[in-house]
Structure 1
Amino acid sequence: MTRKSIHAGATAALLLLAPAAFAQKTYLHCGHLLDVRSGKLLSQQTIVVEKDRIVAVQGGYTAGTGAQDKVINLENRTVLPGLIDCHVHVLSHPGKGSNMNQFTMNPADYAYRAMGDAQLTLRAGFTTVRDMGGDDGVNISLRNAINKGQVVGPRIFTAGAAISATGGHMDDADGLSRDLMDKIGQPANIANGPDQCRQAVREQFKRGADVIKIASTGGVLDLSKDGSGPQYSEEEIRAVVETARDLGMKVACHAHGPEGIKRAVRAGVSSIEHGTLMDDEGRKLMKQKGTWYVPTIIAGKSVADSARVAGYFPAAIQPKALSIGPMLQASFGRAYKAGVKIAFGTDAGVYRHGVNALEFGYMTGAGMPAIEAIRAATVSAAELLGETTNMGTLEVGKFADIVALNGDPLQDISAMMRPTFVMKAGVTYRQE
């Protein structure tokens, strides 16, 4: 091989490497950028994105010099971090008689429907969601497909199948004929006693869950009398928490009634979901333990509205939806005023996907300032997920999860319902 050919080969190799050395950057010109930590709106800022990360946040409007660099004009918009909903059900979809879907829909049917709902959620500005349980094959597969770029949707952290006691909130065989109960048997998410609870956690870990969800009380959309009664002992919940902790997982707990809430908090769960009938003792305990509260106000209002439609819910559910649903907003208000940590969550799937931002209005309506409600869906939600190094704020090194709105949400919280630009991990999914 001649010196000339070696030189030519080296030059060709350098040319092949050149795109990596001069990677394309995107410059977002932000008329107003919301610093969620300080609560201040910063004027005329530029966010620089390379690949899936933010590499700079600069004052003024700047642009790159590379041939592939591009500028996105958001100069008439308010820009904030991608939103996080800490309580959704990606496979659920509301509708009259939807309780019968388990007998008429196949896993593929759920998957195709969920793909559409996932796109609606992302276009609404929610770049990350925490899925609180469904079919642990389909929701885990949807998460994986989104992560691989095979389908479009928000980043998903999923609980797989939520864990329940026999006859409890997530026991799908509850109320069926004996023949059907015998055919279903005991699914892997049904657990009684500490040993079965430990096994159920390990099973969800094995199947690929990111987080564990349990139910310590009944709920609105099950056959329990009023949803308030405890369904797990503190010993059982502690077995779940300790096993999950050993596996590096957090535990979210569905709970409406006061005793079920307090048992779960004492046992060390990371978050209480719903918390409708939380009492003063429960609030004090949550504040003392640093337990997060994910309120889902919109779900309470939605099921109450649906219960007024004849035949929408079975007879056992209708009165609970009418009585418990409207209590959520007031319970949230008391918890916020007591200093309980709040993370944004809506229970999407109980109501229609894509209008998650309605929750902001209900939160502010209960006394939470707009900036605190936005923090609940950004920096606070990221903390609950254990993802503060990757999301929650518009800072260097974090995912380029960026949303732009028409209007100023600090003055008009309904602006959260009007996203015109959505970027997730550096890819633009909405631009108007």
Structure 2
Amino acid sequence: MRLALVLLAALAASAPALAQRTVVHCGTLLDPATSMEPMSERTVVIEDGVVREVVAGYTEPGTEAVDLRDATCMPGLIDSHTHLTGESRKDGYIDAFRLTAADRVLQATQYARSTLMAGFTTVRDVGGSEGADYALRDAINHGDLDGPRMFVAGKSLSIPGGHADPTNSYREDIVGVPDETRGVVSGPESAREGVRIAIRRGSDLIKFTATGGVLSLQGDGSGAHFGEDEMRAIVATARERGLTVAAHAHGDEGMQRAVRAGVSSIEHGTYMSDETMRMMREAGVYLVPTITAGKSVADSARIEGYYTPVVTRKSLEVGPRIQDTFRRAYEAGVPIAFGTDAGVFRHGRNAREFVYMEEVGVPFMDALRFATVNAADLLDQEGRLGCLAAGCTADLVAVSGDPLQSAAAMLDVAFVMKDGRVVKREGQFVPLPARPE
């Protein structure tokens, strides 16, 4: 008898664990990876964090049934341009001297949760400092924190005095002269070293500033930075290690150099010409438009004292142009991946980008495709993220309204699932379960 019990215990220990099964009943399912038309009355069957099948009608409940029959379901959203370790505020430039990496990580835990609660289960985080973005990504991946899945660039690469040079306008005897370890490079060999350092630190992609920018303390907001030889060195070094490259760019010449150098995306694209649009379309280079950032910086610049005078001037010049550039690029057939530049404005407001796209005539299903299929492709995650079909990661969001009638419905996400775990239900956050002792 004792031997039989031992054998039964051994068999039980060796048997595979039963799969965790959940079914989600969706009144309407929107999934551009499957169809550009809405699908009514669908059941998404999930096992161990992966979609096993999507069937017509409502199946019998599994281990757990989620009733979203009065809601519109869609894949977890992807924001291709965020900065989760910071957030714009009045007089925020002093934070470079006030905040430590630990401070930034603690703040970022709240920014990450706000982003996830807004329905964005994945982000491409394209610029952090002091390693805070790596730490945040890893803590989320380990299950220690709630937040979106992060693909991080680490410190953006910049020329000396460029948009991502952290010492612009500060005294050299106090802040020093930055080198590759701080993301400031000069010449092809230095550019290669900057990429290698970023990879060593754990970057998932590389970002460099191909032109000037808006919120940095440098006077030029759109002029070309980096020679094309330097850009090619960045792209080639990244590709050798399997990483893609994103190019921040407002000015047209910098964009054209970056496209010829082989980048995967142009971020912002404010002064993009028709010729650059043609080049991007032919090369398959994505535009990540960040309309919300453009509108936000222009609004903030109208608040007295919010920015320094030089940043105020650039914000009022550049910000209002981005939405119309996006419209032209969309009409020209440029590949587009959804991205907002969250951090330039308050985190958790990412879905406003859908509203701004709708304002210039973009149908919601196209905008949703930008935030799912296209954004997943940019991350080299097509077929895994941004979809709700067999084999896709079980990221699912739902809204009570109908975004096909008004994109403003996306501003009120009622339900969020990430990796098969419900993290928001009926508008309320569902915290991580306690760890077993």
Mark yes or no: TM-score above 0.5. yes
CA offsets, 1:317-338, max 9 Å, x none?
1111011100000011111111
Tell me what 1:196 maps to.
190
CA offsets, 1:136-157, max 9 Å, x none?
5110011000000011100000
1:156 to 2:150 alignment: yes
- The structure 2 residue matched to 1:22, chosen from 1, 18, 23, is 18
CA offsets, 1:105-149, max 9 Å, x none?
111110000000100000000000000111151100110000000
Tell me what 1:292 maps to.
286
Tell me what 1:146 maps to.
140
Tell me what 1:86 maps to.
80
Tell me what 2:432 maps to.
none
- The structure 1 residue matched to 2:40, chosen from 38, 43, 55, is 43
- Where 1:336 maps in the other structure, the secondary structure is helix
Tell me what 2:7 maps to.
10
- Where 2:71 maps in the other structure, the secondary structure is strand
Tell me what 1:348 maps to.
342
Q: Is the 8 A contact 1:81 1:392 kept in 2?
A: yes
- CA shift for structure 1 position 390: 1.3
CA offsets, 1:324-373, max 9 Å, x none?
10000001111111110000000000000001000001112122211100
Q: Is the 8 A contact 2:163 2:209 kept in 1?
A: yes
- Where 1:420 maps in the other structure, the secondary structure is strand
Tell me what 1:116 maps to.
110
- Where 2:246 maps in the other structure, the secondary structure is strand
CA offsets, 1:61-109, max 9 Å, x none?
11356xxx11111010000000000000011111101111010011111
In 2, the alpha carbon distance for the partners of 1:72 and 1:224 equals 51
In 2, the alpha carbon distance for the partners of 1:212 and 1:348 equals 18
Distance change (3 Å), C-alpha of 1:261 and 1:184: closer
- CA shift for structure 1 position 17: 4.9
Tell me what 1:424 maps to.
418
AA at the equivalent of 1:165: I
Normalising by the residue count of structure 1, what TM-score does the alignment of the two structures yield? 0.96
In 2, the alpha carbon distance for the partners of 1:174 and 1:241 equals 25
- CA shift for structure 1 position 5: 3.8
1:55 to 2:52 alignment: yes
In 1, the alpha carbon distance for the partners of 2:138 and 2:272 equals 36
Q: Is the 8 A contact 1:299 1:325 kept in 2?
A: yes
- Where 2:176 maps in the other structure, the secondary structure is helix
- The structure 2 residue matched to 1:381, chosen from 375, 381, 391, is 375
AA at the equivalent of 2:69: E
Q: Is the 8 A contact 2:168 2:218 kept in 1?
A: no
1:178 to 2:172 alignment: yes
Q: Is the 8 A contact 2:208 2:247 kept in 1?
A: yes
AA at the equivalent of 1:52: G
CA offsets, 1:372-413, max 9 Å, x none?
001000011000000013111101111100001111111111
Overall identity of the aligned pairs, in %: 48
Normalising by the residue count of structure 2, what TM-score does the alignment of the two structures yield? 0.95
- Aligned 1:29-428 pairs, distance under 5 A: 29-37=25-33, 38-64=35-61, 69-182=63-176, 187-428=181-422
RMSD after superposition: 1.3
- Where 1:254 maps in the other structure, the secondary structure is strand
Equivalent pairs counted in the alignment come to: 425
AA at the equivalent of 1:409: P
Distance change (3 Å), C-alpha of 1:397 and 1:186: closer
- CA shift for structure 1 position 51: 1.5
- CA shift for structure 1 position 39: 1.6
- Where 1:393 maps in the other structure, the secondary structure is coil
Q: Is the 8 A contact 1:78 1:404 kept in 2?
A: yes
Q: Is the 8 A contact 2:179 2:185 kept in 1?
A: no
- Where 1:78 maps in the other structure, the secondary structure is strand
Q: Is the 8 A contact 2:101 2:130 kept in 1?
A: no
- CA shift for structure 1 position 184: 5.7
Alignment gaps of 5+ in structure 2:
427-437
- Where 2:368 maps in the other structure, the secondary structure is helix
AA at the equivalent of 1:108: A
Between stretches 118-127 and 56-65, larger displacement belongs to: 56-65
In 2, the alpha carbon distance for the partners of 1:62 and 1:99 equals 55
In 2, the alpha carbon distance for the partners of 1:176 and 1:318 equals 18
Alignment gaps of 5+ in structure 1:
none
Between stretches 21-30 and 417-426, larger displacement belongs to: 21-30
Q: Is the 8 A contact 1:346 1:359 kept in 2?
A: yes
AA at the equivalent of 2:40: S
Q: Is the 8 A contact 1:136 1:207 kept in 2?
A: no
- Where 2:215 maps in the other structure, the secondary structure is coil
Q: Is the 8 A contact 1:188 1:203 kept in 2?
A: no
In 2, the alpha carbon distance for the partners of 1:83 and 1:326 equals 25
AA at the equivalent of 2:76: G
Distance change (3 Å), C-alpha of 1:150 and 1:258: same
Tell me what 2:429 maps to.
none
